[in-house]
Amino acid sequence: MFVVLFLVMGGYLVYFNVVKSREVVNSTYNVRQDLMAERVVRGKILDSEGEVLAETVTEEDGSESREYPYGDLFAHAVGFADKGKSGLESVQNFNLLTSNAFFLEKLAKEFRGEKNVGDNVVTTLNTTLQQAASDALGNNKGAAVVMEASTGKILAMVSKPSFDANAVAANWEALNNDENSALLNRAMLGQYAPGSTFKVVTALEYIREHSDYSNYTFDCTGEFTQDGTTIHCYDSQVHGSEDLGDSVANSCNSSFSNIGLGLDKTKWKNTTKDLLFDSKLPSDLKYRQSRFRLDKKDSSAQTMMTAIGQGETQVSPYHMAMITAAIANGGTLMKPYLVDKITNYTGTTVKKYMPEKYDTLMTSAEAAQLTEYMKGVVDYGTGASLGGESYTVAGKTGTAEVSVDKQMVHSWFVGFSNVDNPELVVSVVVEDADTASITGTSVAKQIFNAYYY
């Protein structure tokens, strides 16, 4: 018994040092971080091209301050290191306070009582795309996530409103009492009704339940009534005779209400589980799980609302980016990541992060069919403003109503570029959008243009 206990304890010590130790040291409650900071100058955080996003500046008197050259541009993704830590400043704290300088140099500095220089965190973030997404959102509340479909690299992550990462300590009280929740990373922690972007999920469930889905037809009269509840198409537009592809392209609420009523709710829930609703998400940063709430006992009204992305369904822009990335990548979701590599202060690579498969969310045939439907959205449907460029786009628009009088809407777009060999995945939500001047689609177009032109 004692031999077994000894072996178990020895095994756990190995496991702890290899797997758990960095997580424990990285905890904001662990005072060892303070001890590390006494011996190491915090390393830099860089974009993918080596531009400094965060660095520690040491004054002549030895005092240190953390500076963020881009102010509010990367505030949510990079985070801050005053008043606690957030973003990459938090999750990469261990690496930033670890020095992998040449060991003789480290010994010499320790002998002289000088601080060593911490390692640098080189991110996957692209400053051009980050700036484009920020400019496109302007002063509107909302968020945008840009990823590489084939690798999972996160190229941009913007949340609005933002805050100046250089002035967190000075503005701490105001930021915590801000009615617009500027500290909230809406890309990761925002919970929104997905609107018509969810019709991609509803269409996938219909495909799975009906092998003859290509024969689906529906005659849209601009509205659909069931059990006393009427669902209207946008502006009560009459779409006429539609197949499933037309229903997606035209974002036909009537057709999808009809589809939703015929779906098996248990299978539908299982499909949303396949797409990571009500599940843990792969993420470097803190996030909130998306929710799909529909049971057998729910009314036809609730079912119809859920089918068109209203009701109680809640999702983050980050999660919608992952679903879209899986479609673009033939059904396979690559694990999203924000850190490309860790280097010492001279630039020597300490650790390199490589693309990694996370899960298969759907079959390649299902992904190919959804891609065709999403191409129709841009070719002749609600996303036609993205057409006519040197690049191609497959996507889905969405308008989520957030007020009883329908005067306030969240405008969505999810999609990917270069459809035959997908490159950029973009997920955008604009809160309380004045759709006459800004939409999720218009924001996405500016991001695509920044990349291709």
294-338 pLDDT, tens digit per residue, is: 999 999 999 999 999 998 999 999 999 999 999 999 999 999 999
Question: Does 127 reside within a domain?
Answer: no
CB atoms within 10 A of CB 288: 15
Question: Does 442 reside within a domain?
Answer: yes
Question: Does 342 reside within a domain?
Answer: no
Mean pLDDT of 235-240: 94
pLDDT at 32: 61
- List the CATH number of the domain containing 141: 3.40.710.10
* pLDDT tens-digit map of 185-224: 999 999 999 999 999 999 999 999 999 999 999 999 999 9
Question: Does 37 reside within a domain?
Answer: no
pLDDT at 37: 78
Question: Does 167 reside within a domain?
Answer: no
* pLDDT tens-digit map of 370-391: 999 999 999 999 999 999 999 9
Task: Give the torsion through C-alpha atoms of 94, 95, 101, 106, to 10 deg.
Answer: -10
* pLDDT tens-digit map of 392-420: 999 999 999 876 555 679 999 999 999 99
Q: Provide the domain count of the chain.
A: 1
Contact between 91 and 26 (Cβ < 8 Å): yes
Which residues, including other chains, have CB under 8 Å from residue 367's CB and lie 6 or more apart? 326, 327, 328, 329, 330, 331
Reported in sequence order, the residue ranges of 125-228 that DSSP labels E, i.e. its strands, are 142-148, 154-160, 218-220, 223-226
Cα 366 to its chain centre, rounded Å, is: 22
Mean pLDDT of 144-171: 97
CA–CA gap between residue 180 and residue 24 (Å, rounded): 33
Question: Does 404 reside within a domain?
Answer: yes
Beta bridge partners of 427: 145, 414
Contact between 230 and 257 (Cβ < 8 Å): no
Contact between 192 and 429 (Cβ < 8 Å): yes
Mean pLDDT of 148-160: 97
Q: At 30, is the pLDDT very low, low, confident or very high (cuts 50, 70, 90)?
A: low
CA–CA gap between residue 272 and residue 204 (Å, rounded): 10
255: domain range? Answer: 134-161+182-337+356-452
CA–CA gap between residue 147 and residue 422 (Å, rounded): 11
pLDDT at 21: 62
Copy the structure tokens of residue 377: 């959205």
